[in-house]
């Protein structure tokens, strides 16, 4: 177990370790499975490994716990493991999940409330917390929720569907019931690597306990309790803590922060409220922490950011690009205010929150970005290589491209379409529409797992259609190439995790925003970790923007501690 603080080089450590294991410890045809928190983490790992000459493929699985569960357990073993799924089961779209919940709600509660507004989040948390459907804990902690969970899952099965939580739940159940299945996984992957362990929840933890501490698969895990910020999705940082304290686990701590200036590293431990002994390298720049307690509404504060704060930062750092700047905030509605203020001043922005034009965490969307880069200039520079785009497609569409003939047909159609559209000024709507028509239409029609991704693509095509707000978006703007793409990053604190920027502005750092109003003790602890995660994204400057007399307790404490030096 590697406990890796912010900026400590944990991704480099993980990828070099994985490469060494493949080279020295695990021999063909066996391989290594690497489980990550989300698709963006998986993509970064794949890129780092490619730089070391290692391609994800038969010997190296890299993906989320849901992807691992689906592709390595459910698809190959569902029938023989008796999971009770039809041969042609599908992964439910958002609409199909909503319909299943509505039918289950009508059966169990039927009080006229909106089941999605009142019950969806509760149902999801309950499913992730109580994994054994036969346990007294599941049945008795909240009897109504337990009945609703069972009814919801019955509705999905009746329609031949599973959802994302089902992937881990069904896999975990099968692994517990069948020793031969655990041995089959061990035969293929004698080493399991887990990234961001603190965020992956109880189902993954139980898989690790069974596969690694019962079956004997070797474990290499990386995580940081202090960066656990996804409690609302079922993350339980205590699981990482307990794992690292086991007698049969060797725990290594990475204490140097190579990202942040030395003053930011020192201040970050005040932001966390805990001394962790993190240090910057001896040759690190100092870094600066600024506080901006402001009066007035958030619209006025946003104006200050763009009229005063950013111009002063650009003057201090003449080589600073707007793309090196990120403005972080606790809720997406603040992003709307910032985006409007930026647009009024002629600044382009790129958003990473639920108001973004498309979800950048989507693997399909990131693949489309890479394909667009190839069309803009990548075909000439070789970055990205077309073979890399094809390889990613083969992995993403693996259940639809199962034969060499199908893969070759897809590759030819993709190359023909992209080659004919090598122009960054093309309409994004037209480019996406052509790609959707061919070759993706056949892939989506044959896939059992891409309904949700298909809907995301259709939504983006709709948003860029004539008469819609993004109708003028070009292919170059979509992938970040060409003029006007030096864009300020707008992102929620949650979506900033794992990223780094030269200058960071933490906007809206007020009580009621972080932490939220009337927080529980657990919520206060997680909000503090969220504040810490945002703070440690900064390399050179960090700016805390808050409302005077309403500042977050974390900002007040940080300012007080720094003033005492």
- Examine the pLDDT at 529 and tell me if it is beyond 70: yes
> CA-CA distance, 548 to 551, in Å (whole number)?
6
Q: In the predicted model, is pLDDT for residue 565 greater than 70?
A: no
* Residues 309 and 286 both lie in one domain: yes
Of 104, 137, 159, which residue constitutes the final position of a domain? 159
Q: Is residue 85 a part of any domain in this protein?
A: no
Kind plus residue range of the DSSP H or E element containing 192: strand 191-194
Same-domain check for residues 72 and 187? yes
Residue pLDDT, tens place only, 110-145: 877 788 888 999 999 999 999 989 999 999 999 999
CA–CA distance from 3 to each of 269, 499, 543, 560 (Å)?
16, 18, 27, 29
Of 317, 261, 316, 308, residue with least CA distance to 289: 261
> Residue 49: which pLDDT band, with cuts at 50, 70 and 90?
confident
C-beta of residue 227 within 8 angstroms of C-beta of residue 529: yes
Q: Are residues 65 and 200 in the same domain?
A: yes
pLDDT exceeds cutoff 70 at 172: yes
CATH code, domain with 286: 3.40.50.300
5 annotated to a ligand binding site: yes
C-alpha dihedral, 194 to 195 to 199 to 204, nearest 10°:
-10
Contact 481, 422 (CB under 8 A): no
Q: Are 271 and 532 in contact (CB under 8 A)?
A: yes
Residue 451 pLDDT class (50, 70, 90 cuts): confident
User: Are 495 and 371 within one domain?
Assistant: no
Is the separation of the CB atoms in 226 and 529 below 8 Å?
yes
How many residues make up the chain in this entry? Answer: 565
Mark whether 559 and 498 lie in a shared domain: yes
- Report the alpha-carbon distance of residue 172 to residue 210 in Å, rounded: 9
Residue 481: per-residue pLDDT: 59
Is there a single domain that holds both residue 149 and residue 179? no
Q: Is residue 474 part of a domain?
A: yes
Residues 425 and 464 both lie in one domain: yes
The answer to whether 4 is annotated as binding is yes
Pick the more confident residue, 482 or 64.
Answer: 64
Percent share of the chain, pLDDT over 90: 75
For residue 248, give its domain range: 2-79+169-254
* Structural domain contains residue 355: no
Residue 289's nearest CA partner among 262, 314, 315, 307 is 262
CB 508 within 8 A of CB 298: yes
pTM assigned to the model:
0.88
Domain stop point among 447, 479, 511: 479
- The answer on 521 and 449 residing in a single domain is no
Q: Are 510 and 547 in contact (CB under 8 A)?
A: yes
**pLDDT score, position 449:** 84
Which pLDDT tens digit goes with each residue over 318-358? Answer: 999 999 999 999 999 999 999 999 999 999 888 888 888 88
Q: Is 53 annotated as a binding residue?
A: no
Is 398 among the annotated ligand-binding positions? no
Residue 53 burial (C-beta neighbours within 10 Å; 0-12, 13-18, 19+): exposed
Cβ atoms 159, 5 nearer than 8 A: no
**How many separate domains does the chain show?**
4
265-306: pLDDT as tens digits: 999 999 999 899 999 999 999 999 999 999 999 999 999 999
Question: Rounded CA gap, 459 and 456, in Å?
Answer: 5
Whether 175 and 55 share a structural domain? yes
Average pLDDT score over residue span 432-450 = 91
Pair 213, 111 in one domain = no
- pLDDT given at position 485: 55
Residue 8 annotated as part of some ligand binding site: yes
Residue 250 reports pLDDT greater than 70 = yes
pLDDT band at residue 15 under the 50/70/90 scheme: very high
Return the closest-CA partner of residue 10 out of 253, 209, 185.
253
Residue at 356 is within a domain: no
Query: Which distant-in-sequence residues (6+ apart) come within 8 Å of 212 by Cβ?
Result: 192, 218, 219
Q: Is 190 annotated as a binding residue?
A: no
Give the residue from 102, 126, 159 where a domain finishes.
Answer: 159
How far apart, in whole angstroms, are the C-alpha atoms of residue 490 and residue 496? 9
Residues 6+ apart with CB under 8 A from 480: 350, 369, 373, 487
State the pLDDT confidence band at 25, using cuts at 50, 70 and 90: very high
pLDDT category of residue 433 using cuts at 50, 70 and 90: very high
Residue 154 is assigned to a structural domain of this protein? yes
Average pLDDT of the residues of the chain? 92
Q: Is residue 384 part of a domain?
A: yes
Residues 296 and 428 in one domain: no
Q: Residue 483's pLDDT band (boundaries 50, 70, 90)?
A: very low
């Amino acid at each position: 177990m590697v406990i890796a603080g912010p900026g400590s080089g944990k991704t480099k450590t993980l990828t070099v370790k994985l490469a060494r294991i493949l080279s020295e410890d695990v021999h063909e045809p066996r391989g290594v499975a690497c489980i990550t928190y989300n698709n963006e983490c998986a993509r970064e790992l794949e890129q780092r490994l490619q730089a070391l000459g290692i391609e994800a493929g038969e010997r190296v699985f890299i993906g989320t716990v849901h992807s691992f569960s689906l592709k390595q357990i459910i698809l190959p073993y569902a029938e023989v493991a008796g999971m009770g799924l039809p041969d042609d089961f599908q992964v439910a779209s958002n609409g199909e999940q909503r319909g299943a919940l509505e039918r289950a709600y009508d059966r169990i509660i039927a009080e006229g409330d909106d089941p999605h507004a009142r019950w969806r989040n509760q149902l999801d948390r309950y499913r992730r917390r109580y994994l054994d459907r036969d346990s007294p804990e599941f049945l008795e902690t909240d009897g109504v929720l337990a009945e609703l969970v069972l009814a919801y899952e019955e509705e999905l099965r009746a329609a031949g569907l599973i959802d994302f939580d089902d992937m881990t739940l069904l896999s975990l159940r099968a692994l517990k019931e069948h020793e031969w299945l655990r041995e089959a996984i061990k035969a293929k992957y004698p080493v399991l690597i887990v990234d961001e362990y603190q965020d992956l929840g109880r189902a993954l933890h139980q898989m690790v306990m069974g596969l690694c501490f019962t079956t004997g698969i070797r474990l290499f895990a990386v995580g940081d309790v202090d960066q656990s910020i996804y409690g609302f999705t079922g993350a339980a940082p205590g699981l990482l803590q307990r794992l690292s304290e086991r007698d049969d686990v060797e725990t290594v701590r990475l204490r140097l922060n190579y990202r942040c200036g030395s003053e930011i590293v020192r201040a970050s431990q005040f932001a966390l409220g805990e001394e962790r002994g993190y240090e910057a390298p001896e040759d690190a720049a100092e870094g600066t922490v600024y506080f901006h307690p402001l009066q007035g509404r958030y619209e006025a504060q946003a104006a200050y950011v763009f009229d005063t704060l950013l111009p002063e930062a650009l003057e201090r750092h003449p080589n600073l690009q707007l793309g090196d700047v990120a403005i972080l905030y606790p809720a997406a509605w603040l992003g709307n205010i910032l985006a409007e203020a930026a647009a009024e001043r002629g600044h382009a922005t790129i958003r990473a929150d639920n108001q973004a034009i498309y979800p950048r965490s989507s693997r399909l969307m990131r693949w489309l970005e890479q394909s667009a880069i190839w069309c803009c200039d990548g075909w000439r520079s070789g970055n990205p290589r077309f073979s890399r785009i094809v390889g990613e497609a083969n992995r993403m569409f693996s259940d639809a491209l199962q034969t060499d003939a199908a893969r070759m047909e897809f590759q030819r159609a993709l190359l023909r379409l992209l080659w004919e559209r090598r122009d960054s000024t093309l309409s994004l709507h037209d480019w996406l529409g052509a790609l959707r028509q061919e070759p993706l239409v056949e892939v989506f029609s044959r896939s059992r797992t891409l309904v949700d991704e298909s809907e995301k693509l259709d939504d983006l095509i709709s948003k860029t259609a004539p008469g819609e707000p993004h109708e003028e978006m070009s292919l170059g703007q979509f992938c970040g190439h060409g003029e006007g793409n030096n864009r300020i990053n707008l992102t929620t604190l949650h979506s900033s995790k794992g990223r780094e920027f030269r200058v960071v502005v933490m906007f809206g750092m007020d009580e009621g925003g972080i932490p939220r109003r009337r927080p529980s003790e657990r919520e206060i602890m997680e909000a503090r970790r969220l504040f810490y995660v945002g703070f440690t994204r900064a390399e050179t400057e960090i700016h805390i923007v808050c409302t005077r007399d309403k500042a977050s307790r974390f900002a007040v404490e940080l300012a007080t501690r720094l003033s005492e030096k």
